Amino acid sequence: MTAHSQYESLARRQATARLGMWLFLGSESLLFAGLLALFAAYRVMYPTAFHDAAEHANVALGTINTYILLTSSLTVALALRATEHGRRRATVAWLLVSIAFGVAFDVLKLVEYAQHLHDGFAPGHYYTATSLPPSSVLYFTLYYLLTGLHALHVTAGVIVLGWLALRARRGDFTPTSHIALECGTLYWHLVDLVWIFLWPILYLLR
């Protein structure tokens, strides 16, 4: 970027970028940790209400989404591997596949939301369902916040992957220099990892 780089070598620069990315991911995961702590606290406070509410989670869609995200983690890893072997077109292709998975995830998520809203399981004061204990509304509010925040991350990840695909197509990445791609895939893995926590907690834990 500037002639007078503050780094003594490219390797040092890449290592620093990697460290920065890990710090960022750590910070990001604490964002979710705060919400998960709230979820845990309320779950302890209202075990039956949360148990009953979780019965209404759409396990099928949640599980399909889990498979989608796990697979997309594989495909971004394959994109990275393709770059390391200097296969530009494969990189772009794998990134596009990952983007497709990300979009599919979001779409399924929206379907799930629509279904819940239709059943009256809306967040907060919009909650109209009467079939569950009243405090179940907290489960759904947290469900929307957790999955909504996660979906925002997925969407951001899709945009990042799209940008990386463009750069890959332009030939910005070489087998030895592709730190942006590496950081982008790291971010995508975080998005995946967060879901691996959300899926059992929101869908499977009764």
Partner 1 sequence: MNWLLNLPPQASSVAKGIDWLHYSVILTTFAGVALVAVIAAYFVIRYRRRDDGPTPRIVAPGWLEGGVIVVLLVLFVGWWVVGFQQYRELETAPSNAIPVYVTAKQWMWKFQYADGPSSTDVLVVPVNQPIKLIMQSRDVIHSFFVPAFRIKQDVVPGRATTAWFEAIAPGTYDIECAQYCGTRHSLMRGQVVVLPAAQFELWRANAEPDHFGGKGDGSGLAAYGRVVAADHGCLRCHTLDGTPSIGPTWLASFGRTRRLADGTDVLIDEQYLTESMMEPNSQIAAGFQPVMPTYRSQLEPADVAAIVELIRSLRDAAPSHDEPRPTHDVIQRGAP
Partner 2 sequence: MTDYLRAESGIRSWLGTTDHKRIAIMYLCAVTIAMMLGGAFAMLLRTKLLISGPGIMEPLTYNRLFTWHGLTMVFMFMIPAIPAVFGNFMLPIMVGAKDLAFPRINLASFYVYCAGAALMLWGMVHGGADTGWTFYAPYATTSPTDVAPIAIGVFILGVSSIMTGLNFIATVHMLRVEKLGWMQLPLFVWAIYATSIIQVIATPVLGLSVTLVALDHALGMGLFDPALGGDPVLFQHLFWFYSHPAVYIMILPAMGVVTEIAPTFARKNILSYRAIAFSSLGIAFVGFLTWGHHMFVAGISQLDAALFGVMSMFVAIFSAVKVFTWIGTLYRGSIALTTPMLYFFAFIYLFAFGGMTGIAVATTSLDVHWHDTYFVVAHFHFIMIGGTLTAFLGAIHYWFPKMFGREYPEKCGVLSAIGVFVGFNLTFVPQFLLGNAGMPRRYYSYPDQFHVLNVCSTLGAYLLGAVMVFTLGYLIVAVFTGKRTSANPWGSRGFEWRVPSPPPTENFDEPLDPTIGCYDYDRA
Which one of partner 2, partner 1, none is in contact with 196 (Cβ closer than 5 to 8 A by kind)?
A: none
Q: How far apart are CA 13 and CA 182, in angstroms?
A: 13
Give me the residue label for tokens 């967040």.
Answer: 123
Is residue 171 a contact residue for partner 2 (CB under 8 A)? Answer: no
Other Cβ atoms within 10 Å of 110 Cβ, number: 11
Q: How far apart are CA 168 and CA 108, in angstroms?
A: 28
Stretch that binds partner 2, among 74-82, 89-97, 132-140, 177-185 (CB under 8 A): 132-140
Which one of partner 1, partner 2, none is in contact with 48 (Cβ closer than 5 to 8 A by kind)?
A: partner 1
Alpha carbon of 87 to those of 61, 83, 168: distances in Å? 35, 6, 10
Q: How far is the CB of 1 from partner 2 (least distance, A)?
A: 7
Determine contact, residues 138/49, Cβ cutoff 8 Å: yes
Residues near partner 2 (CB under 8 A) are: 1-2, 4-7, 12, 15-17, 19-20, 23-24, 26-28, 30-31, 33-35, 37-38, 41-42, 45-46, 49, 123-127, 134-135, 137-138, 141-142, 145
